[in-house]
Structure 1
Amino acid sequence: MDYKLVFAALETVCEDNISILCGPSDLPYGAVATRLVTCMRQIQEHGRALEPVVASFVAVYHHYDFDARTPGNGYRTLVKVLLSCLLHIVHKARYIASNYNGAFFRADHNATELEAYCSALCQLRALLYLAQRLINDNECGQLYSLQDGDLSSKFVQEYSSMHKACFYGRCLGFQFSPALRPFLQTIVISMVSYGETYGKQQSGLGMAALSLLTSGKYVIDPELRGAEFERITQNLDMQFWKSFWNLTESGLITGFNRIASSPVQVNLTLTVPPVALRLPLASDPNLTASVSPPLALWGPGPVHMRLISHEIREGQDSEDLLSLSRRDPPPISASQLPWVQKQPLSPWLIIHFHGGGFVAQTSRSHENYLRTWSKELSVPILSVDYSLSPEAPFPRALEECFYAYCWALKNCHLLGSTAERVCLAGDSAGGNLCITVCMKAMSSGIRVPNGVMVAYPATLLTTDASPSRLLTLIDPLLPLGVLAKCLNAYAGADCQSVQPAVGSGSLSALGRDTAVLLSDLTQGASNWIQSFLDPTRTSGGARSLSSSPRRSQSNTANKTAAQSSTQDCEDHMEYPEGFQPLRSECLAFVRPTTCPIIKNPFVSPLLAPNNLLRGLPPVHIVASALDALLDDSVMFAKKLRDMGQPVTLTVVEDLPHGFLSLSQLSKETEVASAICVEQMRKIFQQEDPTPSLPRWPETYMSTNHSG
């Protein structure tokens, strides 16, 4: 996309609309026409100021790519998002110019729509200025301000005070694939409806009924929806996010996922007791290393896992395996299905660690794509249900995942595999665990997997500033306030140090009737959206909010809001003279990630010294250009490449963080999931074996396996 053409089109369409609306005519719009003209002039001013800024990024952002064949980094993404916003404005402005005198032209609706995008453009302009500060203060090719704590804290302060509601109302999801926007609208409406009733003493039926009643107003009033979503993302506690995200564990949603996804013949939940293991050393199979069960925080405890296999294989119906099953769902035995032919052991095995910010979800909510993987690759998959934060902060999850990996190697025959080729796979937080499990295996002298496939992994668990992390200001799925809560929970900043009950990663905190009814709410909200937010229909009568764009357009209003903030003016970043971003009346408290554990290399592998990364198996990273964690992937891939480690990076377009869980929603997410499958196929079919593990220093060989 040629940015010069976009800015030229923006200038032309603004001039056309201003001349039409200000010229001699019999237009009956009055004050609405004045609003449109004011908005067009503000958009014009933003566009003229931004064109040279974009030009400066376009001239240098290729220096921050992984390589010439993989264009992708936070600076590119910010320009892409800005141009996407400008194209929406151009499209809307052209519609206004062509239809302003039509009988069915709704002047107030179109003015409100244009004002919303003008507010979004103002905030994106601020993000570009912040990115300029980053690019000027960091070394060429460096995407993070790892050494400038003051700069990162300034970015956190900006996030706390900047207006964000405009990105969650009429402009929601404008940067993503159009096929995903109804889903994002459903999620946001469900979240704000749930947030309104969260914490109230209601029965399951009462909470769901109240949520259904309140969801309608968020459909027909996008400004209200945006303001409420901003409040929720900035103020509600970790327990809210855990309970909302865990709605994906409800019977209705998982039941739908199982119907819509590939059928499997084996789907067993397993509980492995905490027994010490002995595995051969990678450097000398005649010697063995002892692997302790998970010990951190509350001592030895079992590890929960799920075995998924498209075809039933030898060992998967054995008494030894079935004795470990929690029988949810009931185990499937070949003896119970005599018409099913049992397949031989597979030479391949996938060990999977799920995402969820270290605080939510289980293998159950990730079944939809795991089933597809098992079918496409004809491989058994063992997905680990590690303990979740804040009840189980680092290193409990890592210990459980490492133990599960070692147990799988030792008991692969029970899983339907010979484990000749083993692939670790995970997304987001699970991607972090894939990498750190490999590091732990190397430092323990145990065989490393043949390869790792990670999707949008979190490799730096800090709030350090990067251009892609500026997207947390506009991302409905990964706001900075929520991200910081998750990172601090995993680091143990709010450690509760209590042993969670069995199944604590699911809906134990919610009544089953509440969960099912709230799942119905999601479907109901989706139906509302299709009725009210179809592109061919629009909702009128949206009321003006105190934080709405209509009251915040002028610089005078912006300065007044900023001065009324509890923060002093000098706390804000400096912007070019005459410009200030819109400020929110709903201030956020974002707790920076200052806990020393965050810099532990087994927490933030991007910070790991080379001697802990050298010897990793091939790492295949699949990231999204619109993900706030994109720069995590780019910088980690660069670090491995510069060390001579085998690594690939694939950057997909137009998709949000967590796209694997959305693989059934659009063609784009299906393609992205297929890319992940192909990367795992490469691991299984690679000709060269994984390089032999070098002899590690004695300090690493004697590492305590408790983490």
Structure 2
Amino acid sequence: MDLLQSLQHLANDNLTFFTPTSGTTGAAAATARRFAAAFAAILRHGRHLGPAMSHLAQVAPKFDLDESTPGNGYRSLMEVVQICVDRAVQRCRHVAAHRKSLFFRAGANAAEIEAVAAALGQLRALLVLAAKMAAAAKGGRLFPDGEDNEEEEEEEEGEEGISAVVLREYSTMHNGCFYGRCLGFQFVPSLRPFLQTLAIGLVSFGENYRNRDPGIGVAAGSLFTSGKFALDPELRGAEFERLTQNLDVHFWKSFWNLTETELLASVASLTAVQVGLCRALAVPPEPLELPLARDPSRSVTVAPPGAHLGPAPLHLRLLSYHLRQGQDSAALSALSRQDGGPWTPSPFSWRRGPPLPPSPGLLVHFHGGGFVAQTSRSHEPYLRGWARDLGTPILSVDYALAPEAPFPRALEECFYAYCWALRHCRMLGSTAERVCLAGDSAGGNLCLGVSLRAVALGVRVPQAVLAAYPVTLVQAAASPSRLLTLLDPLLPLGVLCQCLGAYAGTLGEGSRSPPPPGPPVGEGLILRGLRGGAAWLGGLLRGRPPPKTESSPNSDGESSEDPPEDSLEDPPKFLGYPEGFRPLRTGGPPAIFGKIPPKPPRDPFMSPLLAPDSLLGGLPPIHLVACALDPMLDDSVALARRLRALGRPVTLRVVPGVPHGFLSLAPLSPECRRAGGLCPQKFPKKLPKIAQNPPNSPQNRLHSLKPPKNRF
């Protein structure tokens, strides 16, 4: 690889320049030793990256959906390594060009080189783990032992699979180097200021999480905290790693729910599309009668949700770009809930004349948030754009959140909302000729679960499902894309496993208790995060050596490949690390083991990837929009491969450069806006009515959809 050759040449040239001569002492000599150790580490890692990448390049195509849809975790990992190598080349080139200048900031540049050297070392370890998973994969499975059926699982009972071994290994790996100077390096540049601000706000929020005192002293302390994290990337990375390792799901619930505050909601509404109707509803829990899809003369009763919390009103949000007949009815007004405020027509509705006839389409939406946070309100900005582009009403569901309401409560509420929408479509401004489901992340999982439940119950299935970066396997299972949780600032491993465990109900009874004391969720906290972001944008980064790592000098000034003293147990020998190499270790406990069982109940309605062929065969056309650099990419690819094998209509679009959750990040990045614009395109004006046909009938095969090319 030309890029690796350039890296080797630049690193060797810089190493020769900074190698200290005998007898040199003082601060300049210490900095030179830091440079020399970091460049030596880059040389070591660079020599091994080429062969590892070449091996994965041969393996990766076997795991694609098809030739026209290249995308899976092995490809993503290679892309991340290439981006990191390019970053290392740029840093090495900068040092070579300015190292003799009087204005060369030696400390800051040494810290940059140390950070990129540590990142290359950790990515080198991930390539080893990915190669082992590829070798152990059965039948091209992306989850080596996470997609096994019950019979295979019984045969392997008592044996530890490769997935559990890999999870244990990389959950102990150091990741602070990816949350400091290398934060978000893999994503498009337009997102990096936001990611820096987010990281600063997160660690500041974490320091004050248990303090309820809203006094000015706390505010001043938080301002100072934000500033120090903005100016010290190494400190920020270490604190980010500590938070993801130690804080429970209630912390993440509180932090993510900041998007529900009045301040952020008001700011978002300034740029959102104005709609003719936005009304919050509360539907009473009453049994519903629905006709069977194959025999409309017979019906089935759908009971209201009752798991964990008992019967309770279901909260919904109705959006419509045009006011339509039925949406101004007294029956709908009677369902308006107080927290949505009294309904009044939009000031822009007069431009659109009287209510239009009911729309033939209806979109039912389930929001994301890791099953534990957020509501339809925080997802309203992009839903308003969808309402305009699709010209159909959108019903968004505020389902109950984990850990207080784990599975199956959210699924029960979403399925009930879907059935209620079918029964009361006229009230919603639709004739329900075409009813589609849409959701992102956790919401994508719920879309698939609702569709599978409709198949199992025999009621009408939706005409199409759009699932954006969905979770299809609710397990702490390893796959090549899930290895990216080591460096993803939006979805770290500890956070992912906390959320999945909360939804699966495997965090234990203590996780359902009231959350520990935390700061008031209000504008003051958000402003402190914004101040931190401003400090980062305008501050000068000072150099600070990271904790002793493989690429850091020891007390004698020599580089060492020995792991830190706080390393955990040795990795299994069969993982195949090169002799003398071990990844950097975190100083804390493993991120997941001891907290979450790796395999919660194998319920197909919780994990659609585990559904039997008899259920998957009855699904409608499934449209999956995934991110190339998302830890959840393999969830989409694995499901698409299963559906394609069954002859079901499925499309998969893999979007480059953007992170998990790009729909909510559209105002911050043009790349996220373009990616978000793909979603409404997945709902054509006319959809084939194939849901009532047998799974493998000729009629269904005629409607197979060819995946689009993997480009914008």
8 A Cα contact 1:282 1:693, kept in partner: no
Contact 2:172 2:585 in 1 (8 A): yes
1:576 aligns with 2:581: no
The partner residue of 2:386 within 373, 378, 381 is 373
Measure, in 2, the Cα distance between the counterparts of 1:247 and 1:632.
Answer: 28
CA distance 1:71–1:570, shift in 2 (3 Å): closer
Distance 1:73 1:472 in 2: 15
Task: Tell me the CA shift for residue 521 of structure 1.
Answer: 2.1
**2:671 corresponds to which residue?**
668
> Which piece of structure 1 moves more, 228-237 or 566-575?
566-575
Q: Shift in Å at residue 141 of structure 1? A: 2.0
Answer whether contact 2:309 2:405 (CA < 8 A) is retained.
Answer: no
1:522 and 2:529 correspond: yes
Distance of 1:204 and 1:449 partners within structure 2? 52
**Relative to 1, partners in 2 of residues 1:642 and 1:204: Cα closer, same or farther, differing over 3 Å?**
farther
Change (3 A) 1:142 1:414: same
Q: 2:14 aligns with which of 8, 14, 17?
A: 17
Amino acid at match of 1:178: P
Structure 2 distance, partners of 1:399, 1:365, is 22
For residues 54 and 335 of structure 1, do their structure 2 counterparts lie closer, same or farther at Cα, with a shift above 3 Å needed? closer
Specify the SS of the correspondent of 1:108. Answer: helix
Within 5 Å, which residues of 2 pair with 1:641-656? 641-656=644-659
Q: Say if 2:455 is the partner of 1:442.
A: yes
Q: Distance in 1 between matches of 2:9 and 2:527?
A: 47
SS in 2 for 1:663: helix
Q: Distance in 2 between matches of 1:80 and 1:543?
A: 28
- Superposition pairs of residues 273-292 of structure 1, within 5 angstroms: 273-292=284-303
Change (3 A) 1:118 1:619: same
How far does the alpha carbon of each residue in 1:73-100 deviate from its partner, in whole angstroms, 9 at most, with x for none? 0101111001100100101111111121
Q: Would you say the 8 A contact 2:460–2:691 is kept in 1? A: no
User: Structure 1 residues 469, 560: closer, same or farther in 2, change over 3 A?
Assistant: closer
Provide the rounded CA distance (Å) in 2 between the counterparts of 1:673 and 1:83. Answer: 26
Does residue 407 (structure 1) correspond to residue 420 (structure 2)? The answer is yes
Residue of structure 2 in register with 1:155 after alignment: 166
Map of 2:690 onto structure 1:
690
Change in 2 beyond 3 A, CA 1:584/1:324: same
- Measure, in 2, the Cα distance between the counterparts of 1:598 and 1:679: 32
Moved more, 197-206 or 376-385: 197-206
User: What's the counterpart of residue 550 of structure 1?
Assistant: 552
Q: Cα distance 1:38–1:276, how it changes in 2: closer, same or farther (>3 A)? A: same
Q: Which moved more, 1:382-391 or 1:522-531?
A: 522-531
Q: Give 3-state SS (helix, strand or coil) of 1:664's partner.
A: helix
CA pair 447-474 structure 1, distance change in 2 beyond 3 A: same
SS at match of 2:679: helix
Superposed, which structure 2 residues align to 1:205-216 within 5 Å?
Answer: 207-216=218-227
Match status 1:305 vs 2:316: yes
**What letter matches 2:629 in structure 1?**
L
Cα shift readout 1:190-219 (whole Å, capped 9, x = no counterpart): 110010011124226554443222010001
Match of 1:222 among 233, 250, 275: 233
The residue number in structure 1 matching 2:84 is 85
Q: Report the CA distance shift for 1:433/1:508 in structure 2 as closer, same or farther (over 3 A).
A: farther
Q: Map of 1:34-53 to 2, 5 A cutoff?
A: 34-53=33-52
User: What letter is aligned with 1:161?
Assistant: T
What does residue 5 of structure 1 align with?
2
Q: Do residues 607 (structure 1) and 610 (structure 2) align?
A: yes
Count of equivalent residues = 677
- Please tell me whether the aligned partners of residues 346 and 379 of structure 1 are also in contact (alpha carbons under 8 angstroms): yes
Aligned residues of 2:617 and 2:695 also touching (Cα < 8 A): no
Q: What is the match of residue 621 of structure 1? A: 624
Q: Give how far 1:295 is off.
A: 1.7
Given the superposition, is the C-alpha separation of residues 338 and 455 from structure 1 closer, same or farther in structure 2, using an over 3 Å criterion?
closer
SS at match of 1:161: coil
Q: Is the 8 A contact 1:158 1:572 kept in 2?
A: no
From the superposition, tell whether residues 102 and 433 of structure 1 become closer, same or farther in structure 2 (CA, over 3 Å). Answer: same
Q: Is the 8 A contact 2:289 2:300 kept in 1?
A: yes
Alignment match, 1:482: 495
Q: Secondary structure at the match of 1:134?
A: helix
Q: 1:82 to 1:555 in 2, by over 3 A?
A: farther
Partner of 2:467, secondary structure, is strand
Give the conservation status (yes or no) of the 8 Å contact 1:552–1:558: no
Output the CA distance in 2 between the equivalents of 1:403 and 1:363.
17
Task: Assess if the C-alpha contact under 8 Å between 2:211 and 2:517 holds in 1.
Answer: no
What CA distance in whole angstroms lies between the structure 1 residues aligned with 2:404 and 2:199?
Answer: 27
Equivalence for 2:701: none
Alignment match, 2:705: none
Higher deviation after alignment, 396-405 or 332-341 = 332-341
Distance 1:186 1:14 in 2: 31
The residue number in structure 2 matching 1:117 is 116
Q: Which residue of 1 aligns with 2:440?
A: 427
Paired position in structure 2 for 1:105: 104
Q: What SS does the corresponding residue of 1:289 show, helix, strand or coil?
A: strand
Match for residue 639 of structure 2 among 618, 636, 639 = 636
Give, in angstroms, the shift of residue 571 of structure 1: 9.4
- Specify the code of the residue in structure 1 equivalent to 2:173: M
Q: Which residue of structure 2 lines up, in the alignment, with residue 699 of structure 1? A: none
2:451 is paired with a residue whose SS is: helix
Deviation at 1:477, TM superposition (A): 1.0
Q: Deviations over 1:628-651 (max 9, x none)?
A: 010010000000000001000000
Which amino acid in structure 1 is aligned with residue 623 of structure 2?
A: H
Which residue identity is paired with 1:361?
A: Q
- Please, which moves more after superposition, 34-43 or 102-111? 34-43
Which of 222, 242, 267 pairs up with 2:253?
242
Question: How far apart, CA to CA, are the structure 2 residues paired with 1:552 and 1:483?
Answer: 35
Asked whether the 8 Å contact 1:453–1:619 carries over to 2, the reply is yes
Task: Give the equivalent residue in structure 2 for 1:700.
Answer: none
* Aligned-residue offset at 1:238: 1.2
Instruction: State the Cα deviation string for residues 620-670 of structure 1 (Å, max 9, x = none).
Output: 000001000100100000000000010000000111111111011111101
Q: Corresponding residue for 2:190?
A: 179
The 3-state SS of whatever aligns with 1:275 is: coil
Q: CA deviation at 1:296?
A: 1.4
Q: Is the 8 A contact 1:227 1:547 kept in 2?
A: no
Moved more, 151-160 or 252-261: 151-160
The residue aligned with 1:701 is none
- Please state how far the C-alpha of 1:541 moved relative to its aligned partner: 4.4
For 1:289, the aligned partner's letter is V
In the superposition, relative to structure 1, how do residues 231 and 368 fare at CA in structure 2: closer, same or farther (>3 Å)? same
Which one-letter code corresponds to 1:665 in the other structure?
Answer: L
The 3-state SS of whatever aligns with 2:419 is helix
Instruction: Write out per-residue CA displacement over residues 270-323 of structure 1, whole angstroms, 9 at most, x where no aligned residue.
Output: 110011111111112222221111121233222111111122211112111111
The letter of the residue matching 2:9 is T
AA in 2 matched with 1:77: S
Moved more, 33-42 or 98-107: 33-42
CA spacing shift, 1:197–1:526, aligned 2, 3 Å = same
CA deviations 1:254-281 (Å, max 9, x no partner) are 1111111111221111110011111111
User: Within the alignment, does 1:254 sit opposite 2:265 as a pair?
Assistant: yes
Is the Cα contact below 8 Å between 2:61 and 2:70 reproduced in 1? yes
- Structure 1, residues 596-625: CA drift from partner, whole Å, max 9, x if none? 653110111101100011111100000001
Secondary structure of 2:377's counterpart equals helix
What is the match of residue 388 of structure 1? 401
TM-fit CA distance, 1:508: 13
List aligned pairs for 1:326-405, cutoff 5 A: 326-334=337-345, 341=353, 342-405=355-418
How far the C-alpha of 1:246 sits from its partner, in A, is: 0.6
Q: Aligned partners of 1:137, 1:446: CA distance in 2, in Å?
A: 40
TM-score for both structures, normalised by structure 1: 0.90
Supply the RMSD in Å over aligned alpha carbons.
2.9
Write the distance in 2 (CA, Å) between the matches of 1:319 and 1:461.
42
Return the alpha-carbon distance in structure 2 between the equivalents of residues 596 and 117 of structure 1: 35
C-alpha deviation, 1:139, in angstroms: 2.7
SS of residue paired to 1:599 = coil
Find the partner of 2:682 among 674, 679, 683: 679
- Mapped partners of 1:325, 1:547: distance in 2: 58
Question: Of 428, 450, 453, which aligns to 2:466?
Answer: 453
Give SS of 1:402's match: helix
Residues 660, 150 of structure 1: alpha-carbon distance in 2 compared, 3 angstrom cutoff: same
CA distance in 2, matches of 1:100, 1:568: 39
One-letter amino acid of the structure 2 residue matched with residue 6 of structure 1: L
